[in-house]
């Protein structure tokens, strides 16, 4: 057992737990976005930042990737944490302004202005889809390409991947997509669940970035434009 | 290639070292040392070598003169150069015909040829001997110095300077804990950037649970303009390998990797050859020289991404995964390569190890400041007279490096700033010139030691433009995982770019500061955590320049194209027509001996005329038109 302190409270963690897992176990909430139980922690969205250590050596780390350590002192909501977190939300929103998930975060954390030029990419590169595909769907159909500001999610050679089974897992988990769909139950079945919900993500194929390179086939996110 | 003799045991190796050292002492021949690293070769050292060989043959001096082709000596400005031993006469910037003259004059007649001697850029004085050259005088070349004495492709030459004596000492006389203790006491800190105490890292790896253990040499060196690790690997590869062997012995590793970037072909060649020689000589492999120490060494070639120099990304890349940093802890010392305890050190760090073992911790810690011991190699580039690699004791001031060693700023221009620490370092102004160099003081000043890049800038440099340049590098080289680093650098670059284009607005600097802070605080690895330094340091020391761009739409240094126009100063123009010939668009009018004129609608602001004019009659002026346009726009 590892003993540490979160927000002044002594807590115990099991070997191998992260700070986030420990906090959750004690019912202490830390906002997350790129983290998902059942997927490997990645640390991309930096929303789950917490402050560790004390005095001049205190610093911010992502709690979803930081391991619980003996004697660690953690604060989940210091001014420093909140300021950085707000900036992360503002940055995410500047590239995925149509995401309800991120808009909700903005309201929750008091992000009320947008100071960057909007560049709608409908993706915050959180990597959930990549991990979902590889770790849960055994697909490895999509991945990151390039680095830095040119980074994007795509299939090898940007063409429809043979590895993709159209399971829809990637879309299900994506925080930048508004709708979630369980996907068709069987090969023959048509899901269409999303058609019962209003509004769907998009009315046009044109603006859609479909990782399956087969926009509309699974029907999770697009609805035909009504004549 | 000659086959290397296998040493059966430590005794034989010791004997060979004694022999080599003795025969070097007895050497009666004059030795001509030719510096032929990557930079020397680029400047024609190979042709100089051919010419030398030919001239020596023709003059019949073969029995009296020998040539030693070595790695780089660090004085890039003077390449290709030779040093004639035993006198140490230093001739620089040579071409093949020069070499013939030298062989005739100096080697046959015994006269020094003045015109090939080095001339100090400030005093204009000629230096006869290598040790009289100001560039070398204030340096302390404990690591680089030996490059002059060894042919990097020859194991015997390395033995001739006492190579492998430290290893013999470590393996016969020291217990692993003693080696670690010595390195700890010496105060050696990592030369790869962060300055972590090397002995502490070794100890942590040794104590960490898990087997086997690995060691890695980090030779990724992705900073633009930095080449100190390259010159060590090229010029003295055995030194680095010996350091690794001693490290492996202390840590209890039996396998190591030397990660070197593929863009360094000569370094790759020399290191590969050296490893090969060590296997042949029985100095690598199982039960080395009959001891129970076994060690295998592999080369891993890096594909050249800056971020792959970060230790966890480098490990991922050796394992064949994407070179992306991951969360530390666990640190490599706990879970590194193949999730086993791994000690990773920089090239220069490893190269210091044999010296510390041989000369003792006290010798090493007598050099430097209280917190930073030993020397550091910097690559001194930019607006500086003596470009090159300089190795200086910690605690030296920036002023000494720039003026005494570097010979000051060319063309009589004024010093403006020096950027230390690579792309994510900071820019320090003239008021910081008396700042001493060690890990803590550089950090306190808003910069970092980094791996040793040092770029000097003169008064004609725009600091906003400099910040833009580094941000552009970083937004490209960030691995892109963390939103803070990826979007942080991108957005900072956007804001700074807009400022240089005259689109800056009130509030930009505050946003920039806020963003810089968030990037620094929220990012996972060292790249993001330091990516804001170029912005923060220029804002700290040159805020007025940002403000001039934003509020007055003026670039004080006359660099930002959107904010300037070029104009001829009538009083200074002699009508020489040089500018007219240089102008690619025919924007300059004027006849010989008359004052020339620039037509603004044709001028593309390339700056060619400014460069061409020898009378400083062309000036980058504030472009009033810009302000007006911007004010009209809503
Ligand atoms: C973005 C980034 C790039 C780096 N590049 C290098 C490099 O090129 N060479 C190097 O030795 N260390 C580099 N480092 C530092 C390494 O992560 C590591 O700290 C170092 O190799 C450890 O060796 P040392 O303790 O001997 O310095 C880099 C770090 C970061 C964050
Ligand atoms: S739909 Fe295709 S790309 Fe998406 S998770 Fe499933 S297999 Fe992977
Ligand atoms: S597509 Fe969605 S899940 Fe995938 S990286 Fe982008 S935001 Fe994350
Ligand atoms: S800080 Fe930058 S380089 Fe480092 S892991 Fe994050 S995105 Fe990659
Ligand atoms: S180069 Fe200079 S001096 Fe000569 S004509 Fe042009 S402005 Fe005049
Ligand atoms: S800046 Fe270039 S285009 Fe303009 S006048 Fe000078 S040389 Fe010609
Ligand atoms: S949830 Fe931890 S970084 Fe995204
Ligand atoms: S002299 Fe060695 S790199 Fe220039």
| Tally of domains within chain A | 3
Inform me whether the C-beta atom of residue B481 falls under 8 Å from chain A C-beta atoms. yes
Ligand 7 test: best mutation among A18, A38, A42, A101, most atoms within 8 Å of CB?
A42
The string over B14-51, giving b where at least 16 C-beta atoms fall within 10 Å of a residue's C-beta and e elsewhere, is bebbeebbeeeeeeeebbbbbbbbbbbbebbbeebbeb
Inform me whether the C-beta atom of residue A84 falls under 8 Å from chain B C-beta atoms. yes
Between these two residues, B248 and A219, which has the higher pLDDT value?
Answer: B248
Residue A14 and residue A95 share a domain: no
Is the pLDDT assigned to residue B153 strictly greater than 80?
yes
Contact A211, A130 (CB under 8 A): no
Residue B309 and residue B244 share a domain: yes
Q: What ipTM did this prediction achieve? A: 0.89
Give the end of a domain, one of B337, B365, B393: B365
Report d(CA B473, CA B413) in Å as an integer: 27
The Cα angle at residue B134 between residues B133 and B140, in degrees rounded to 5: 100
Residue B590 and residue B621 share a domain: yes
Q: Report the 10 Å Cβ neighbour count for A155.
A: 18
pLDDT digits (tens, 9 = 90+) for A94-111: 998 878 788 888 888 888
Residue A71 and residue A7 share a domain: yes
Report if residue A64 sits inside a domain. Answer: yes
Residue B261 and residue B163 share a domain: yes
Is the pLDDT assigned to residue A208 strictly greater than 60?
no
Report if residue B289 sits inside a domain. Answer: yes
C-beta A32 within 6 A of ligand 7:
yes
Does the beta-carbon distance from B522 to A49 stay under 8 Å? yes
| Tally of domains within chain B | 5
**Residue B631: pLDDT band by 50, 70, 90 thresholds?**
very low
Residue B341 and residue B431 share a domain: no
Q: Which domain holds residue B326?
A: 155-365
Nearest Cα neighbor of B453 from B194, B260, B230, B223 is: B223
Residue A70 and residue A162 share a domain: no
Report if residue A37 sits inside a domain. Answer: yes
Helices of type H across chain A = 19-25, 79-95, 100-108, 128-131, 169-173
Residue B493 and residue B354 share a domain: no
How would you class B631 by CB atoms within 10 Å of its CB: exposed for 0-12, middle for 13-18, buried for 19 or more? exposed
Report if residue B241 sits inside a domain. Answer: yes
Task: Give the mean model confidence (pLDDT) for residues A51-73.
Answer: 96
Residue B445 and residue B430 share a domain: yes
Report d(CA B46, CA A56) in Å as an integer: 54
Give percent of chain B above pLDDT 70. 98
**What is the pLDDT at residue A161?**
81
User: Which of B326, B478, B523 comes nearest A148 by C-beta?
Assistant: B478
Contact A217, A181 (CB under 8 A): no
Whose alpha carbon is nearest atom 3 of ligand 3?
A174
Residue A98 and residue A169 share a domain: no
Is the pLDDT assigned to residue A220 strictly greater than 90?
no
Residue B566: partners with Cβ closer than 8 Å, 6 or more residues away: B598, B603, B605, B607, B609, B610, B618, B619, B620, B621
Residue B361 and residue B401 share a domain: no
Report if residue A210 sits inside a domain. Answer: yes
Helices of type H across A62-193 = 79-95, 100-108, 128-131, 169-173
Whose alpha carbon is nearest atom 1 of ligand 3?
A123
Report d(CA A85, CA A93) in Å as an integer: 12
**What is the pLDDT at residue B422?**
87
**What is the pLDDT at residue A178?**
46
CATH of the domain at B509: 1.20.1440.230
3-state class (DSSP) for residue B360: coil
Atom of ligand 1 nearest to the CA of B525: 31
**What is the pLDDT at residue B401?**
97
Is the pLDDT assigned to residue B142 strictly greater than 60?
yes
Ligand nearest to C-alpha B604: 6
User: Which of A66, A94, A117 comes nearest B327 by C-beta?
Assistant: A66
Residue A59 and residue A164 share a domain: no
Q: First vs last Cα of chain B: how many Å apart?
A: 74
Whose alpha carbon is nearest atom 4 of ligand 6?
B603
**What is the pLDDT at residue A210?**
54
Report if residue A225 sits inside a domain. Answer: no
Contact B223, B306 (CB under 8 A): yes
Using an 8 Å CB-CB cutoff, list chain A residues near B307: 147
Kindly report which listed range (A95-104, A206-215, B60-69, B261-270) carries the lowest average pLDDT score.
Answer: A206-215
Residue A54 and residue A12 share a domain: yes
Mean pLDDT taken over chain A: 82
Residue B92: partners with Cβ closer than 8 Å, 6 or more residues away: B75, B78, B79, B80, B81, B116, B117, B118
pLDDT digits (tens, 9 = 90+) for A76-97: 999 999 999 999 999 999 998 8
CATH of the domain at B578: 3.30.70.20
CA distances from B423 to B115, B310, B444, B450 (A): 39, 14, 18, 9
Report d(CA B359, CA B363) in Å as an integer: 6
Does the beta-carbon distance from A44 to B483 stay under 8 Å? yes
Give the end of a domain, one of B309, B335, B365: B365
Give the end of a domain, one of B551, B582, B601: B551
Residue B335 and residue B357 share a domain: yes
Report if residue B421 sits inside a domain. Answer: yes
Compute the nearest-CA separation of A140 from chain B (Å): 14
Using an 8 Å CB-CB cutoff, list chain A residues near B481: 42-44, 125, 127
Q: Which domain holds residue A17?
A: 2-77
Inform me whether the C-beta atom of residue B194 falls under 8 Å from chain A C-beta atoms. no
Report if residue B8 sits inside a domain. Answer: no
Report if residue A97 sits inside a domain. Answer: yes
**What is the pLDDT at residue B630?**
47
**Residue B157: pLDDT band by 50, 70, 90 thresholds?**
very high
Residue A107 and residue A38 share a domain: no
**What is the pLDDT at residue B224?**
83
Q: Report the 10 Å Cβ neighbour count for B209.
A: 8
Residue B469 and residue B454 share a domain: no
């Amino acid at each position: 057992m590892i003993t540490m302190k979160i927000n002044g409270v002594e807590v115990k963690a099991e070997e191998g737990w992260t700070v986030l897992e420990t906090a959750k176990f004690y019912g202490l909430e830390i906002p997350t976005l790129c983290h998902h139980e059942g997927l490997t922690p990645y640390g991309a969205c930096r929303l789950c930042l917490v402050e560790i250590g004390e005095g001049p050596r205190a610093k911010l780390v992502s709690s979803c990737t930081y391991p619980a350590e003996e004697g660690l002192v953690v604060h989940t909501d210091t001014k420093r944490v909140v300021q950085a977190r707000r900036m992360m939300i503002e940055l995410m929103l500047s590239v995925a302004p149509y995401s309800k998930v991120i808009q909700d975060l903005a309201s929750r954390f008091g992000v009320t202005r947008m100071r960057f030029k909007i560049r709608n990419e409908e993706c915050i590169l959180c990597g959930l889809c990549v991990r979902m595909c590889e770790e849960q769907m055994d697909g490895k159909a999509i991945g990151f390409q390039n680095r830095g500001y040119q980074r994007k999610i795509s299939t090898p050679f940007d063409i429809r991947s043979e590895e993709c089974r159209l399971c829809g897992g990637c879309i299900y988990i994506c925080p930048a997509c508004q709708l979630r769909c369980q996907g068709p139950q069987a090969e023959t079945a048509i899901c269409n669940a999303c058609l019962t919900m209003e509004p769907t993500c998009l009315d046009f194929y044109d603006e859609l970035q479909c990782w399956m390179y087969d926009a509309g086939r699974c029907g999770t996110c697009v609805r035909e434009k009504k004549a | 290639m000659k086959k290397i003799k296998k040493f059966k045991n430590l005794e034989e190796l010791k004997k060979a070292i004694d022999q080599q050292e003795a025969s070097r002492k007895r050497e009666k021949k004059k030795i001509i040392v030719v510096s032929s690293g990557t930079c020397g070769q680029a400047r024609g050292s190979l042709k100089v070598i051919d010419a030398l060989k030919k001239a020596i043959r023709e003059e019949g001096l073969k029995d009296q003169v020998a040539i030693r082709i070595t790695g780089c000596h660090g004085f890039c400005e003077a390449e290709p150069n030779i040093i004639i031993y035993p006198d140490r006469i230093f001739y620089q910037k040579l071409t093949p015909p020069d070499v013939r003259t030298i062989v005739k004059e100096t080697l046959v007649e015994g006269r020094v040829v003045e015109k090939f001697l080095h001339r100090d850029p400030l005093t204009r004085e000629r230096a006869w001997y290598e040790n009289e050259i100001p560039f070398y005088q204030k340096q302390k070349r404990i690591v680089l110095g030996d490059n002059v004495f060894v042919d990097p492709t020859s194991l015997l030459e390395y033995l001739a300077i006492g190579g492998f004596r430290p290893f013999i000492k470590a393996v016969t006389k020291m217990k692993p804990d003693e080696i670690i203790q010595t390195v700890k006491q010496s105060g050696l800190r990592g030369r790869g950037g962060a300055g972590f105490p090397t002995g502490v890292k070794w100890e942590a790896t040794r104590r960490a649970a898990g087997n086997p253990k690995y060691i890695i040499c980090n030779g990724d060196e992705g900073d633009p303009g930095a080449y100190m690790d390259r010159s060590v690997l090229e010029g003295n590869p055995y030194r680095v390998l010996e350091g690794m062997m001693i490290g492996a012995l202390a840590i209890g590793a039996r396998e190591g990797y030397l990660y070197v970037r593929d863009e360094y072909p000569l370094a790759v060649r020399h290191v590969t050859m050296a490893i090969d020689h060590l296997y042949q000589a029985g100095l690598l492999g199982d039960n080395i020289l009959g001891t129970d120490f076994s060690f295998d060494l592999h080369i891993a070639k890096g594909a050249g991404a800056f971020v792959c120099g970060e230790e966890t990304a480098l490990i991922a890349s050796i394992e064949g995964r994407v070179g992306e940093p991951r969360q530390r802890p666990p640190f490599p010392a706990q879970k590194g390569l193949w999730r086993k305890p791994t000690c990773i050190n920089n090239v220069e760090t490893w190269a210091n190890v044999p010296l510390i073992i041989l000369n003792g911790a006290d010798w090493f810690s007598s050099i430097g400041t209280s917190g930073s011991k030993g020397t550091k190699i910097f690559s001194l580039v930019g607006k500086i007279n003596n470009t090159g690699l300089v190795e200086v004791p910690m605690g030296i001031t920036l002023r000494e490096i720039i003026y005494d060693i570097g010979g000051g700023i060319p063309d009589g221009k004024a010093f403006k700033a020096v950027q230390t620490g690579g792309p994510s370092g900071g820019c320090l102004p003239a008021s910081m010139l008396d700042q001493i160099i060690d890990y803590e003081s550089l950090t306190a000043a808003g910069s970092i030691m980094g791996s040793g890049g040092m770029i000097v800038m003169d008064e004609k440099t725009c600091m906003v433009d400099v910040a833009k340049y580094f941000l552009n590098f970083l937004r490209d080289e960030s691995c892109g995982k963390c939103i803070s680093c990826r979007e942080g650098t991108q957005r900072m670059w956007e804001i700074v770019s807009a400022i240089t284009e005259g689109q800056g607005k009130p509030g930009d600097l505050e946003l920039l500061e806020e963003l810089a802070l968030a990037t620094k605080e929220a990012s996972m690895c060292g790249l993001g955590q330091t990516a804001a330094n170029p912005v923060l340091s220029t804002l700290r020391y040159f805020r007025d320049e940002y403000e001039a761009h934003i509020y007055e739409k003026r670039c004080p240094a006359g660099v930002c194209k959107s904010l300037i126009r070029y104009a001829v100063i009538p009083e200074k123009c002699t009508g020489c027509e040089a500018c007219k010939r240089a102008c690619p668009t025919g924007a300059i009018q004027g006849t010989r001996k008359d004052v020339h004129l620039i037509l603004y609608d044709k001028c593309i602001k390339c700056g060619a005329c400014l460069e061409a004019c020898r009378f400083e009659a062309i000036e980058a002026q504030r472009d009033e038109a810009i302000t007006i346009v911007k004010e009209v726009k809503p």
